[in-house]
Amino acid sequence: MNKSDVIATLAQREYVNKSLDLLNKKENETGKRLTASVITFGCQMNARDSEKLAGILVASGFELLEDTEDADFVLYNTCTVRDNANQKLYGHLGEALSRKKKNPAMMVGICGCLPQEPSALEKIKKSYSFVDLIFGTHNLYAFPEYLSRLLSGERHICEIVDHADNIVEDLPVIRKYPFKSGVNIMFGCNNFCTYCIVPHVRGRERSRESRDILEEIVKLAGSGVKEVMLLGQNVNSYGNGIDGEISFPELLKRVCDIEGIERVRFMTSHPKDLSEELIQTIRSEEKICRHLHLPLQSGSTRVLKEMNRRYTKEQYLDLALRIRDEIQGIALTTDIMVGFPGETEADVDDTIDVIRKVKYDNAFTFIYSKRMGTPAAAREDQVPEDLVKTSFDRVLGCVQDTAKEQSMRWQGLTLPALVEEVNTSLGGYVTGRLSNNMIVHFPGDASLIGSIIPVVLEECRGFYYMGYTK
């Protein structure tokens, strides 16, 4: 960390201590420890951010609850990539208002991507004025300060900044899983796809220094973490803007060299920047999981150009098929958007052609969502809803067919699975994750959690397997 990052970190730690003192005083007065809950919407980066928020709350003296029903403080970590995420938040806020009417001392906070969108922020301030705290993605690290102000009696705190001055990572974290962890390697995005709000709410690309990343992973390995996922909006451009910094493939190699780390994942990888060096690194490093998420968005070269994706259908196909050919056992997943403005039936045919040729192991297929402030939202050739639904059904059906075909290729094999949890639906079973990111359920108990063990993949059931250990 540079000097300003260190100073910011030390300041926030002082606020954590201040909050702890305030909460201890409240507990002595009331005989009750205050509780808190963090609700997460969106991507893996948001999930990682929520682990930091939860860690700060616990370090500040709160008891963490999974359920918001009885929490004294509820914090919503938001997403605004698509409108349905916004609507989901508004539904939660309606429920929070009902609880706050019964318990006026209850505190409600909103953070993350949604407050960075001006129109959404104005709606929150106007329609949900009971919210006590609002802050965005660029100043998440200042949550300890805002928390201490809340506990001191301040309300209606709204702190939104349009860029980040610091990268502050050395704050308390509560991980969902003790044996695996996400690790931020960069923040923001420089790509400006014409449909996407992310660069506007997450800001420009900023990479962490590799020495800080590696030090963090060494500490994680020392605490029992076996699997790490390196996180960034476009990990392939890691290091850009930092003189003398290593490349993303070199970072992967150094992570693989850390003792105790047995699996390495990463997300997300932009096709335009995926290098031959990265392909060969994945191929040669056994610790790197055999799963690559490679967003397509559209199979039409014309639509890709209008999306500002900066690759053609042919370039994407060449890359995907080369990866399939060079990395044995790789699972390829993707994102596919249906209904981008001006999309025609022929464009959808091109997308289906790519799906059939690449044969994705899985795909997140979604309908274009108009985001205010993006070029695509201002276009007059928005696709009618009935045509979008027809196209979506066609694409989804093709994805399901190829994914089922791909899933079947593992049947009968014995593959190592990281046991993640006890299966709550099947008594006497646990759930594990394969290197290719597929899920397998097999007989076992809680003593296996966190272990990597060989599992026979006995029966494919679409997107998961039933298996057993020998």
- pLDDT tens figures, 375-408: 999 999 999 999 999 999 999 999 999 999 999 9
User: How far, in Å, CA of 419 to CA of 380, rounded?
Assistant: 50
Name the more confident of 68 and 435.
435
Average pLDDT of the residues in 360-384: 95
The interaxial angle of helices 143-151 and 44-59, nearest 10 deg, is 40
Instruction: Domain 3-159: give its CATH architecture.
Output: 3-Layer(aba) Sandwich (3.40)
**Domain ranges (residues) in the chain:** 3-159, 178-289, 291-409, 414-468
- pLDDT tens figures, 296-320: 999 999 999 999 999 999 999 999 9
Q: Give the fold, CATH level 3, of 414-468.
A: OB fold (Dihydrolipoamide Acetyltransferase, E2P) (2.40.50)
pLDDT at position 166 is 67
Q: Which CATH class is domain 178-289?
A: alpha beta
Average pLDDT of the residues in 453-457: 98
End-to-end CA distance of the chain: 48
- pLDDT tens figures, 164-218: 776 777 778 898 899 999 999 999 999 999 999 988 888 889 999 999 999 999 9
- pLDDT tens figures, 25-72: 989 988 999 999 999 998 888 999 999 999 999 999 999 998 778 899
Q: Give the fold, CATH level 3, of 291-409.
A: Transcription Regulator spoIIAA (3.30.750)
- Decide if 178-289 and 291-409 have a common fold: yes
